[in-house]
Amino acid sequence: MEPAIQFDHVSKRFGSFAALDDVSFEVPSGQSIALWGSNGAGKTTLIRCMLGVTAFRGEIAVEGFSSAKHGKDVRVRIGYVPQVMPLFDPPVGEMVDLISRLRGVDSAEGLRLLERFELKQTLNKPVKSLSGGMRQRLALTLALLGNPHILVLDEPTANLDASSQKDLLTLLHQLKDEGRTIVFTSHRWSEVRSLADTVVHLEEGRVKEMGAVSALALQQDLVFIRLVLDESSISPASTALTSAGFQPYSGDGSVHVTVADAHKMDVFGALSAADVRVRNFTLEVEE
Amino acid sequence: MSSRSVLTLTQRELLDALRNRWFIVYAAAFLVLCISLAAMIVNSAGYAGISGFGRTAAGLINLVLFLAPLMGLTLGAQSLSAEREQGTLAYLLAQPVSLGEIFLAKFLGLAIAIAGAIAIGFSISSLAIMYWSGGAGVGIFLRLLPLTLLLGWTTLAIGFVISAVSDKTVSALGIGVVAWLLLVLIGDLGLMGASVAVSISPGMLLTLTIVNPLESFRIASILQLRNSIELLGPSGLVANDRFGDLTLWVLVGVMIVWLTGATMLAYVLARRRELQ
């Protein structure tokens, strides 16, 4: 059976920086694949290459279509959910109509999806007035217009509160059960473990390891630490944690890191050594 | 390129323009000033007959010279930069559309919106003149309309170039306003200063003058309204001497070169930036 997506020696450089370096793997149809790695590991760049919105070396085939040569054909076959749904001015109904028309589908399908994701009451509200959780559900609604077999989600829960994260994950499980191929990035190991069949661990643009979640060396007792820092401390904290061998993720005024329970104090040790002041933190055991 | 996608995105751009408070302010200001000018035209005709024509024509040309480029430059400058800043451009690019389709639709949408604002301003003013005076002076608006549209679109294209290279909407707007000042005021004064300080031949001075699309518009408008540019003095005579009957077409050609050149440059810059 032909894989849904095939990455074949994909490389991408920004000047002298190798964002992706000879990445090759396949995504079987109906499987859920997590791209795992720290900031700058190449996850988002790989997604942009797959969507055919940036030039790269090598070959990516999505259901047989080349991302480099037939970007529009590829994007018709992919439903894309960004990390944050942009703050569009128009009302939800207008956005649904716009994306429906661009995807060549009847906007009645959008109304059905809005109902499924409990967003029908937002039809006349501007997209930018919706809560973060609602906006991500809208992004999922728009991604499913035209019923694509492949869903690509870039950190879909990164900016959501715990309740919205849970709701979105439930929806993603439903979509996975419908047999869709899902490619997603996340910095939460609990999400990866819950949703992914396979994990592709990217580091410095290369595939470090790949396999079933249970078989990876990453699999251990993990904790998720959210560090609240001054804005000016975010970059030094990320640098210090990366130098210490952790995989930090920075966003929404904080730095997140998933770490083996036995090494959680090492995070604070690395920050202290770099003179980074932590204003607050939360710690969750990854289940 | 899919015409369906371009049409869909153009409609979206038009709706966005109607929601854009800058556009609403420009369109309203243009309308109010046009109507004021119409009232002036009627009064001039009443008191001075045809002798009032020169004053009102100059007023209309100056009004267009100030507002149409400001509208084109600032709306163009916001076009891509605002979408980039809000993340909406990246989101649209992840849909089954190409950058070329998005770019073309944005340009068409804004060009239609600007044309609408100008046409409404001119039409209502013309109707007002017809109502007040039975039609004397309406021709000024009608004869100036095509050149005004061309000026609006040319400056829109220059605004797109600014937008293609700007990271933030605020900085794009700032550069747009500086470009407007340069084209409307400083370029003119600088050329006058340079011609005094350095000995520039009349032919060179004419060339340097009409390279500025706003000056091309100004001279072409006078030619269109008066059928003569001798009132511009020696430079008008030089233009007549050099281009003869083709003067109007040369000036329109300069504006079309700016329009197409700037549009293509903006697309190349946007492509390099977005798809790198």
Can you give the pLDDT at residue B51? 45
Q: What is the length of chain A?
A: 287
The per-residue pLDDT for range A90-108, each reduced to its tens digit, is 899 999 999 999 999 988 8
Chunked in runs of 10, what are the mean pLDDT values of chain B (276 residues)?
90 89 86 82 58 62 88 93 90 93 95 92 81 70 87 96 92 92 78 72 76 87 74 68 82 94 95 83
Q: Which of A75, A88, A104 sits opposite B88 (nearest CB)?
A: A88
Rounded to a whole number of angstroms, the distance from the CA of A149 to the nearest CA of chain B is 15
* Nearest beta carbon to residue B97 from set A55, A82, A102: A102
**Inter-residue contact B112 to B14 (CB < 8 Å):** yes
Q: What is the mean pLDDT of chain A?
A: 86
Residue A89 distance to chain B (closest CA, Å)? 8
Query: How far is Cα B58 from Cα B41, in angstroms, rounded to an integer?
Result: 11
Q: What is the pLDDT of residue A51?
A: 94
Q: What residues of B are in contact with residue A94 (Cβ under 8 Å)?
A: 15
B8 contacts in A (CB within 8 Å)?
A: 98, 101-102
- The first and second tokens of residue B56, run together, are 């009102």
Among the partner-chain residues B5, B87, B95, the one whose CB lies closest to the CB of A86 is B87
Q: Which of A101, A127, A183 to mutate to test the interface with B (most CBs of B within 10 A)?
A: A101
Shortest distance between the Cα of A282 and any Cα of chain B, in A, equals 29
Smallest CA-to-CA distance from A66 within A79, A49, A89 is with A49
Listed in sequence order, the DSSP H helices in chain A are 43-51, 71-76, 92-103, 107-116, 132-143, 162-177, 189-195, 231-243, 264-273
Pairwise CB contact (< 8 Å): B94 & A80: yes
Rounded distance between C-alpha atoms, residue A197 and residue A33, angstroms: 6
What percentage of chain A exceeds 70 in pLDDT?
A: 96
The C-alpha atoms of residue A10 and residue A26 are separated, in whole angstroms, by: 12
Residue B231: its pLDDT value, please? 65
Residues of A in contact with B87 (CB under 8 A): 82, 84, 86-87
Collapsing DSSP to helix, strand or coil, A57 comes out as strand
Domain tally for chain B? 1
User: Which chain A residues contact residue B91 at CB under 8 A?
Assistant: 82, 85-86
B189's tokens: 């004064």
The distance of B15 to chain A (nearest Cα, Å) reads 9
A104 chain-B contacts, CB cut-off 8 A: 4, 96
B180 vs B187: CA distance, rounded Å: 10
Contacts of B90 in chain A (CB under 8 A): 53, 82, 86
Domain that holds residue B132: 3-275
Name chain B contacts of A55, Cβ cutoff 8 Å: 275-276
Cross-chain residue pair B98–A85, CB shorter than 8 Å:
no
DSSP annotation of A277 reads P
Q: Residue A58 CB: number of other CB atoms within 10 A?
A: 17
Partner-chain contact A82 B87, CB within 8 Å: yes
Could you tell me the two tokens for A18? 């190798």
pLDDT for B49 equals 46
More confident residue, A146 or B223: A146
Tell how far CA A148 is from the center of its chain: 17
DSSP state of A52: T
Question: Quick one: which H or E segment has residue B15?
Answer: helix B3-19
The reply to whether residue A102 touches residue B16, judged by beta carbons under 8 angstroms, is no
The complex scores an ipTM of 0.80
What pTM was estimated for this model as a whole?
0.83
| Token couple for A41 | 């590991």
3-state secondary structure at position A26: strand
Question: In chain A, whose CA is at the least distance from the CA of B87?
Answer: A86
Work out whether strand A181-185 and strand A150-154 pair parallel, antiparallel, or are unpaired.
Answer: parallel
